[in-house]
Structure 1
Amino acid sequence: MFFWNNNKKKQEVPVIEKVEVADIEKLKEKIECLETDLTAALGKDRIACLNALGSAYMEIQDTEQAIHYYEISLEEDTVFGKACTDLMSLYNIKRREAAVAKDDEQLQLYLNKIDNLMQTTKTIMRKV
């Protein structure tokens, strides 16, 4: 007789760690400085600033703003890096939230965004 292992491990979902209140205040100050710097930044400095803003918003768990800045970064410079990886994580978080809320429209939106990002990533990798 065959015995099936019913003790399968559930896939652990990556969760953004909670940030302390004092750290949130420091991050908000950093965000203000970065947004000021962004207005004058050009070229690679602008991309670095956009990615830093996306990262800071991701740390304070403001996924909408993080997605906004990472998407702008990829529109201006399609390079595989932190923007791609973090954006994929953020899209999956939003997709998961939509699935739990049973919001089919949002679920489809983020599935499409994930597909588009995967296609962009493949295109970037082919160029290299």
Structure 2
Amino acid sequence: MFRFGKRKDKETKKLVKEEVVLTEERKEDLLRMIHLKKERVNQIVGEEQSKVYEEIGLAFNELGEEDNAIDAFEKSIQAKKSVGDGYKTLLKLYNKKRAEAAKANDEASLQLYLKKMDQMMQVSKDVTRGV
């Protein structure tokens, strides 16, 4: 009935969204982990390879290297179709790239990322159906 504090809660949530600043130590740890995982990924296949690529993609995304993250996530989905953290992050990156292309009036890139997003939706359908 009464909505005391509801508006205030929404406003504070918006203000709390701040960029996470990476320390040099965290950057070094992520780069070391990426290097070790890249060496390991060539020695394994299947579902395990998919997980390793997903971990690499998440690390690249945390470092802010979006193109490398996209590449790793795409390899992960090629190795094994799944809907998890990697899938969600890849979809967000595609949407971000699509928005940048739309803002820059780059029709070719816009169509590319729209097509990739459609492919991601098909992956979701395939996983749901068990194909």
Normalising by structure 2, we get a TM-score of: 0.78
Instruction: Provide the secondary structure at the position in 2 that maps to 1:53.
Output: helix
1:24-74 CA deviation, whole Å, 9 max, x = no partner? 222111111111111212333211111111111111111111111111111
**Higher share of residues assigned helix:** 2
Indicate conservation of the 8 Å contact 2:49/2:79, yes or no: no
**How far apart in 2 are the matches of 1:81 and 1:55?**
12
**How far apart in 1 are the matches of 2:72 and 2:82?**
15
Measure how far apart 1:103 and its partner are. 1.3
1:65 aligns with 2:82: no
> For residues 89-128 of structure 1, what are the structure 2 equivalents within 5 Å?
89-127=92-130
- 2:35 aligned residue (17, 32, 40): 32
Indicate conservation of the 8 Å contact 1:91/1:114, yes or no: yes
Instruction: Provide the secondary structure at the position in 2 that maps to 1:86.
Output: helix
- 1:78 aligned residue (65, 75, 81): 81
1:44 aligns with 2:47: yes
Uncovered stretches (5+) of structure 1, i.e. residues with no partner: 1-11
Normalising by structure 1, we get a TM-score of: 0.79
1:23 aligns with 2:45: no
**How far apart in 2 are the matches of 1:56 and 1:22?**
14
**How far apart in 1 are the matches of 2:117 and 2:97?**
11
**How far apart in 1 are the matches of 2:18 and 2:115?**
22
Q: In the alignment, what sits opposite 2:90?
A: 87
Uncovered stretches (5+) of structure 2, i.e. residues with no partner: 1-13
**How far apart in 1 are the matches of 2:108 and 2:98?**
10
